[in-house]
Amino acid sequence: MNEATPRRRFLARAAVIGGGALLAGCDRLSHVPWFASLLGSAESLNLAVRKVTASRLAMAQEFSAADLSPSFRSNGTSNPSDPRYQTLAAGNFADYRLEVGGQVHAPLSLSLTDLRALPERTQITRHDCVEGWSAIGKWRGARLAALLARVQPLPSAKFVVFHCADSLDEGGPPYYESIDMDDAYHEQTILAYDLNDQPLPIANGAPLRLRVERQLGYKMAKYVMRIELVDSFAAIGEGNGGYWEDQGYQWYAGI
């Protein structure tokens, strides 16, 4: 049995009865600014329900080495065709730089050596894809909180956007994703450079991919080239905050 199932079922039911029955008794909450603004948007109901039912600080379940999947499959892009990416890959990513900017005091450009020198975390977690498969892998990476401490977000920064090297359709929009500051500072949110004690394979997002463990697979941006802090999605082209979100998937894909 899947551990997350009862909670997921509860969330589904809560989403149906929605802002009505479930939240009617929570009058005090409507005076809390983030809650009032969330209620204004049906899009954010899943996040509103989540904030009521579970702390955003809660940890995703972690597993032991015995639970590791024999192999971690690849999904979506497995080798970006972008020529700049191909050149970086040919040089084993020695020339890779992660650009970090937007609403920050101190924009940064980091090599993989720089990234490996940041405070890190290792975690064995289960990845759940909406297409109906799961895999358990061991991820090691730089804590996003540590990177944010270096760039110092401005008070106006509300989302962290991850811009990727690939596009799912030839000539189409690049893959991108975004998370809020709660998830950005979460202990298990890392920029992973190792999978199962090996450098991250290209099929799984080399040289760097996001792990935001309490959300679904499509949030875990692979091939991250640039991180941008923004105060709204308008700053990134009026989209819904992610490649799949722009096709109608939920922005807050909490499990």
Ligand X SMILES: Nc1nc2c(c(=O)[nH]1)N[C@H]1C(S)=C(S)[C@@H](COP(=O)(O)O)O[C@H]1N2
Residues that bind ligand X (CB under 6 A): 73-77, 129, 164, 166, 168, 175, 204-205, 217-218, 220-223
Pick one of 217, 241, 242, 254: the residue that binds Mo ion (CB under 5 A): 217
Pick one of 15, 29, 68, 129: the residue that binds Mo ion (CB under 5 A): 129
Q: Smallest distance from the beta carbon of 14 to Mo ion, in angstroms?
A: 24
Q: Smallest distance from the beta carbon of 102 to ligand X, in angstroms?
A: 19
The token pair that represents 235 in the structure block: 């700053």
* Nearest C-alpha neighbor of 29 from the set 12, 46, 49, 44: 49
Nearest CB to ligand X, comparing residues 112 and 212: 212
**Nearest-CB residue for ligand X:** 76
Find out whether 224 and 95 touch, Cβ atoms under 8 Å: no
Q: Could you give the angle at which helices 45-53 and 5-24 cross, rounded to 10 degrees?
A: 100
Q: Smallest distance from the beta carbon of 131 to ligand X, in angstroms?
A: 7
Q: Are strands 98-102 and 224-230 parallel, antiparallel or unpaired?
A: parallel
Nearest CB to ligand X, comparing residues 64 and 71: 71
User: Is residue 136 within a helix (H) or strand (E), and if so which, with residue range?
Assistant: strand 133-143
β-sheet bridge partners, residue 143: 190
Q: What letter would DSSP give residue 168? A: S
Residues 6+ apart with CB under 8 A from 250: 43, 46
Q: Smallest distance from the beta carbon of 203 to ligand X, in angstroms?
A: 6
Pick one of 96, 176, 218, 233: the residue that binds Mo ion (CB under 5 A): 218
CA atoms within 13 A on the CB side of 76: 24
Q: Which does 223 bind (CB under 5 to 8 A by kind): ligand X, Mo ion, none?
A: ligand X
Q: Smallest distance from the beta carbon of 116 to ligand X, in angstroms?
A: 20
| Site of interaction with Mo ion (CB under 5 A) | 129, 217-218
